[in-house]
Chain A
Amino acid sequence: MKVADVSPREFDAQLAGEGVCLDCGPYVVRITSSVREVATGLRFHYADFPLHESRGFVDFAIVVRHTSLLRRFLRPQVNFYCDGKIPFKPVPASQAFPMLEWGLNWVISTHAHDHLVLHGAVLEREGRALILAADPGSGKSTLCAGLVDAGWRLLSDELTLIDLDCGRIRAIARPVSLKNESINVVRDFGAHTQVGEICVGTTKGVVAHMRPPLESVERRGESADPAWIVFPGFTRDGRLSVQRVGKAAAFMELTRHAFNYAPLSESAFEALVRVTDACDIYRIAYGGLDEVVPLLDRMSRSAEPIA
């Protein structure tokens, strides 16, 4: 049974009661919340996700709730709890869904130590994965949404999970997080792209999420082999330029984007060597999706390097 198969009333009651169990990449997470924004966000963004049996194995138990009874009515604030830990400061209730998404990212990036976890988006075409690794503000998520719109399968927008044993990349297929101007850019893609409620005044500015496409959600059990790494750099009115990046330089840059390089140490080193060895690696500067998306399309179809 999928989230969308349950009536909103029933779903909200279960969420507020014993909680709902959802796939979150490698983990089943039980989410319990009576916060309205969490319920609407989950129903919209996770509509195509299966609901797991609550008596099955649960990897993490998450609760999002109001900080106090008083705070429920007066400038309501909510907290994110993961098995009793509170990793973040409370936020206004209107930002409860983005907080839940950040919280789920936190859960994966701090616990999935059987994977090398990179801060980066990852997409797939014909079994081959493209990793987009960049610092915040470089247009990674917007580009990720643009590629999804162009038919790439979404594996993840925030977290690239590289299996330490086989080197393949796991799909998570959770919502794509969008900030500020990029929200309108993605909305303009057309009717098949669905953007959820907009939250203003978060620590990252205005944020919204793009619902993952049905196909990406249904195929989230399929991993992909790393084939390309791109360090994207968006600048307004920037000119398209492609530069090939050496393996060693790419390796060093990727260590910076790894969440768990230190705790994994040698196995992280080996996994990263394997990934950089297997990939064509580029630094691409661009000023608009209309140039860069066709370029990456061409890259995915061509046997020759694009630079």
Chain B
Amino acid sequence: MNTTAIVASVLRHPPVIRDFDPSHWSELVRQARAAEMLGQLRATIHAAGMIPEVPARPLHHLEVGWRLSLRHRSAVDWEVRHVRDALGELGLPVILLKGAAYCVAGYRAAEGRVFNDIDFLVPKASLPDVEIRLIRRGWLPATISDYDQRYYRNWSHELPPMDHRSRGTVLDVHHTIVPPVSGILPDPDALIRSASPVDVTGLEMFSVLAPPDMVIHSACHLFLGEFHKGLRDLYDLHVLMTDFGREESFWTGLQARAVATGLALPTLDAMTQAHRVFGTAVPEDVMRGLRAQVGAISVPRVRAWMFDKILRPPHPSCDTRVVRFARWLAFVRSHWLRMPLPLLVYHLGHKALKGDAH
């Protein structure tokens, strides 16, 4: 077995564990821990009815990961209620994003997952009100340099992260789903209009994005942004697309929205990579349609090579010179896609001189 892909291979097809020896189990547990995916592994093996086939020692780690994820879920629920108390009287649409959305909406993507922060989207015009109310409830804008402050306020799609001074939880307040500076301007009002209200007592003021928008947003987050939790984020996409994809209308909706928002490339990346790594069932005609949209922006083979390297657990067993090069390439690419060239040069130059990679 190719050990570099061991976490993905078990998530894709749990019966492979039947051939494992102790060194495979060691590798699996340690990679999954590095990728923060112990809980998802446990959920997947459990769903396949194969928990009795896991030896006691690795099972112990999977159970610890699972218990931690249950605790995270109740913490997210608790925290979201505090956000409700802070923002409720503004009467705004508040759209939960990513992990918090999967969790509150009860999607399978939340199973076994841990959550690092709570992301939500509000209309841009309401940002000052939202920020002041969150500050009053104890979430303080992270202390960051003037440059980073300007980066967030002028060029980004979100406020600087806000840390709760006693509970330590972090909120990311978005006003759109991709940095406006990228030149891609999906209409946030359209996202808000098609969002659906959360069906949980006490959380009725929140909504979650419509399935196609939710997938597109997660795809943007991964393929235009950050890869350090790449495997976890790609697995989220796999689970979302698998579950939403049972409805035929989802795929046509996804294609239409991806084209309309100018986000065909990250959407295509998400479908291609989820299919390659986890075997997600993706309809060929939708892929073809998106490919035609994307045209010659990016060379598919180079992309495939790069993603193959970087969508691995951040663990020494997967870390080679080639992987590090691919990671650097992806870093440059994601910045390239979201910033015009002069700004990119300025931004990377500033970060290089200040020595803090962002």
Write the residues of chain A forming the contact surface with B, with a CB cutoff of 8 angstroms: 55-61, 63, 81, 83-85, 111, 113-114, 263-265
Contacts and interface: CB of A to CB of B under 8 A. Distances in A.
Contacts of B315: 83-84
A57 B24 CA distance: 8
A55 B314 contact: no
Contacts of A81: 316
Contacts of A58: 23, 26, 30
B63 A83 contact: no
A56 B64 contact: no
A265 B71 contact: yes
B30 A60 contact: yes
B61 A263 contact: no
Interface stretch (B52-60, B124-132, B156-164, B187-195): B52-60
A114 B34 contact: no
Contact of B64 (A57, A61, A63, A114): A114
Contacts of B71: 263-265
Contact of B61 (A56, A59, A265): A59
B68 A59 contact: no
Given A55-B22, A83-B316, A114 B63 contact: yes
A297 to B, nearest CB: 37
Given A83-B34, A84-B315, A114-B60, A57 B68 contact: no
Contacts of B60: 114
A61 B315 CA distance: 11
B234 interface: no
Contacts of A56: 22
A85 B22 contact: no
Given A83-B316, A113-B64, A265-B71, A57 B34 contact: no
Interface in B1-35: 21-23, 25-26, 29-30, 33-34
B33 A57 contact: no
Given A63-B316, A84-B314, A114-B60, 15 more contacts: A55-B21, A57-B26, A57-B57, A58-B23, A58-B26, A58-B30, A59-B57, A59-B61, A81-B316, A83-B33, A111-B33, A111-B64, A113-B67, A113-B68, A114-B64
B63 to A, nearest CB: 7
A56 B27 CA distance: 11
Interface residues of B, number: 24
A263 B68 contact: yes
B309 to A, nearest CB: 15
B30 to A, nearest CB: 5
Contact of B58 (A57, A60, A63, A264): A57
Interface string B60-77: 110110011001001000
B132 to A, nearest CB: 28
A84 B22 contact: no
Contacts of B25: 57
B243 interface: no
A189 B68 CA distance: 44
Given A61-B30, A83-B30, A83-B34, A55 B61 contact: no
Given A113-B68, A263-B68, A84 B23 contact: no
A52 to B, nearest CB: 11
Given A61-B30, A113-B64, A55 B319 contact: no
B128 to A, nearest CB: 32
Contacts of A85: 34
A149 B324 CA distance: 51
Contacts of B26: 57-59, 61
B22 A57 contact: yes
A263 B66 CA distance: 12
Nearest to A58: B26
Nearest to B33: A83
22 contacts: A55-B21, A55-B22, A57-B25, A57-B26, A57-B55, A57-B57, A57-B58, A58-B23, A59-B61, A81-B316, A83-B30, A83-B34, A83-B315, A84-B34, A84-B315, A84-B316, A85-B34, A111-B33, A114-B63, A263-B71, A265-B71, A265-B74
A57 B26 CA distance: 5
Contacts of A264: 71
A58 B21 CA distance: 12
Contacts of B33: 83, 111
B203 to A, nearest CB: 21
Nearest to A267: B67
A83 B71 CA distance: 24
A81 B315 CA distance: 11
A81 B22 CA distance: 22
A264 B71 CA distance: 7
A59 B62 CA distance: 12
Contacts of A113: 64, 67-68
A59 B23 contact: no
A57 B22 CA distance: 5
B55 A84 contact: no
Interface string B294-317: 000000000000000000001110
Interface in B33-61: 33-34, 55, 57-58, 60-61
A123 B131 CA distance: 51
Contacts of B55: 57
